[in-house]
Amino acid sequence: MDLKLEQIGTELMVMRLMRPGQIKEMSSSLARNGQLHPIIVNGMEDNVYQVIDGFKRYYAAKGLGWSILKSEVIKENIAKCKAMILSYNRGSHSLVEYEEALIVNSLNKEHRMEQKAISQMLGYSRSWVCRRIALIEKLDAQVQDELRLGYISNSQARDIVKLPRGNQKEITKTIIEYKLSSRQSKQLIEKYLETGDKQQQAYILNNPLEVIVPEKKKESYDVRLGEHGNRILKAVELLRQQQNIFIGQYSDHRTRGLKGQEIEILQPKIQEAKQKSRKIILIIDTKN
């Protein structure tokens, strides 16, 4: 049936993560092709139809100024509706692990369902259900907020949950501040867990780029260059990488907070780097 957008509710949206980019893609699809598939809604409540499947279509249609959406109406209790979010997305694998965890945790805590009953309802193993509940219970609430807002990814959250809750916010802050990838975050967390020394852990958090092993990249090579030319190309690439690391570290606001002894140790090395930089410029200008 056709439903007016004002008749449609999004109460179950709390079970989903929705990124602006996804809505934008759906908006383009609706504008180009129209609505190809109906949204699925639950019609148990008084004149309000709660979306079960089709949140992106709903928000995209609302953004486009549509007034009506084609809808398939079912009538189920709220617990069954939450379970159906999983079933509708199972084939497409469009739910991330955290979204699955939100649904399972809600069935367990809000609807007082035992893990065995959840397993039977969803068609997943007990261990699968247990892992999803643990993801919510062990992940700090503030970290969950960062995940919802898109500042960290689902895979990063999966690694962060390995840490005690008391350490998760610090790690998350570092991941966001340094814009670490999932692979880099995993390395950082592994290094953090390897040491039990608090001072060393603090150093890791403040200097994450020093403990992260750079990705192995294919060596630079250009068929148009001879042997020596390719050696220069490789040297330039290595130099550029080291320059980027130095620029990132030295331009950090914490450089201004270095203490006297630290400055004494670093200053000669920085001056040496400065002199070599001038020498590089001189060599390049002379050759050109």
pLDDT at 196: 77
Looking at the whole model, is its pTM more than 0.75? no
**C-alpha separations of 73 from 77, 130, 145, 260 in Å:** 13, 32, 32, 71
Q: What is the pLDDT of residues 186-211, one digit of tens each?
A: 999 999 998 878 888 888 888 888 87
Dist. CA 105–CA 109, nearest whole Å: 6
Taking only the tens place, the pLDDT of each residue in 12-60 is 999 998 888 889 999 999 999 999 999 999 987 677 899 999 999 999 9
Buried b (16+ CB within 10 A) or exposed e, 154-190: bebbbbbbebeeebbbebbebbeebebebebbbbbbe
Task: Judge: domain 1-75, CATH 3.40.50.150.
Answer: no
pLDDT tens digits, 126-171: 999 999 999 999 999 999 999 988 899 989 999 999 999 999 999 9
Give strand pairing partners of 48: 45
Over 80: is that where the pLDDT of 212 sits?
yes
Tell me, what's the pLDDT at 257? 87
Strands of 8-9's sheet, edge to edge? 2-4, 68-74, 39-45, 48-53, 8-9
**Which residues sit opposite 72 in a β-bridge?**
40
3-state helix, strand, coil in the chain (%, to 5): 65, 10, 25
